[in-house]
Amino acid sequence: MSQTPQPLHKIAILANPLIDDALVLADDVAAFLNAEGGEATAGSLYDADLRQAISSRQFDALIALGGDGTMLRAGHLCAPAGVPLLGINVGHFGFLVEVKRENWRESLPNLLSGDFRYEERMMILARCSRQGHVDASFDVINDVVVARGQHVRPIEVEADLEGARIARYNADGLIAATATGSTAYALAAGGPILPPELRNILLMPVAPHLSVDRAVVLAEGASICITVRTEHEAVVSVDGQDSLAMVSGDCVQVTANEQSLHMIRFQDPGYFYRNLTAYMEHNPLFSIKTNGQSN
């Protein structure tokens, strides 16, 4: 994608239909952009025709209305087509979302004038295999998680880098995350926060017991094999989607993905830390940890 953004004209606006008034707002956004000289089409995030049009690159950009979950679903649609993504937050949480619901009219004309920048987010490719045969492959924006199933007992997880063992965990699970995913489940598990455009893979154990409890940050070119050893149920989940069952000896191969997600940003790069601080300060649990006080 060009380093110098060009004005965008043909824009799809997809709303999460499960959020109150999101579809109405999508129509308002489309009408506004059309009045400003753009060519905008609004609909549901699950509209098959619009999704096909985006996949075939009939739009210059996609605006997603929702929260971070909506952004992940939209990102999985945009990334393979190379269509840049912008979010308007009408959900509950929005690490990934650029525009607030109350100020979209001030921000969106910048799309039509080219007054924005692209933020490239590295993705992961996860290949799940059993007995040496790949059963499924996934493009990952946030994280891939190998974890225990319904039994409240830890599993053993081995992590090999280029064929050499780097760690063995006895834990509830192991997260392999992108920088984008470092503010998701990995953060809740106690992992570090990585700058959004960093091209690294983060390994973070979940509730480790008498084993390595630190995060490991690996280079972009790393190839990691995560193997589960268990006598009971284990699962693998990608970006919080429905999990797949794993048996002892199953492996998830994790590498950097050839495709990236390009996000549209109006703010300067420092927005990430400003937003992060704001979210943390408004999080009651964070306030308790940092101030040593309860509410």
**Tell me: the pLDDT tens digits for 41-85?**
999 999 999 999 999 999 999 999 999 999 999 999 999 999 999
Whether 4 is in a domain gets the answer no
Q: What is the pLDDT of residue 282?
A: 60
Q: Is residue 290 part of a domain?
A: no
Q: Which domain holds residue 246?
A: 122-259
Is residue 292 domain-resident? no
d(CA 61, CA 63): 7
CATH of the domain at 164: 2.60.200.30
Q: What residue has token string 């390595």?
A: 212
Q: Which of 29-38, 91-100, 248-257 has the lowest mean pLDDT?
A: 91-100
Task: Examine the domain organization and report whether 59 and 162 are in the same domain.
Answer: no
Which residues fall within 8 angstroms of residue 118, CB to CB, at 6 or more apart? 1, 3, 5, 84, 262, 263, 264, 265
Residues 99 and 131 in one domain: no
Q: Judge if 254 and 130 occupy the same domain.
A: yes
Identify whether 239 is part of a domain: yes
Q: What letter represents residue 176's amino acid? A: A
2 falls within a domain: no
Say yes or no: 28 and 150 in one domain.
no
> Are 147 and 47 within one domain?
no
What pLDDT does residue 94 have?
Answer: 74
Query: What confidence score (pLDDT) does residue 273 get?
Result: 74
Q: What tokens were used for 268?
A: 């300067």
Is residue 294 assigned to a domain?
A: no
Q: How far apart are CA 282 and CA 274, in angstroms?
A: 13
Joined together, the tokens standing for residue 292 give 């040593």
**Do 140 and 255 share a domain, yes or no?**
yes
Q: Is the pLDDT of residue 174 over 70?
A: yes
pTM assigned to the model: 0.90
User: Chain centroid to CA 18: how far?
Assistant: 19
Query: How many domains, in total, are found in the chain?
Result: 2
pLDDT in tens, 277-291: 766 666 554 443 433
Helix, strand, coil content of the chain in percent (nearest 5) = 25, 40, 35
Active site positions, annotated: 68
Give the amino acid at 99.
V
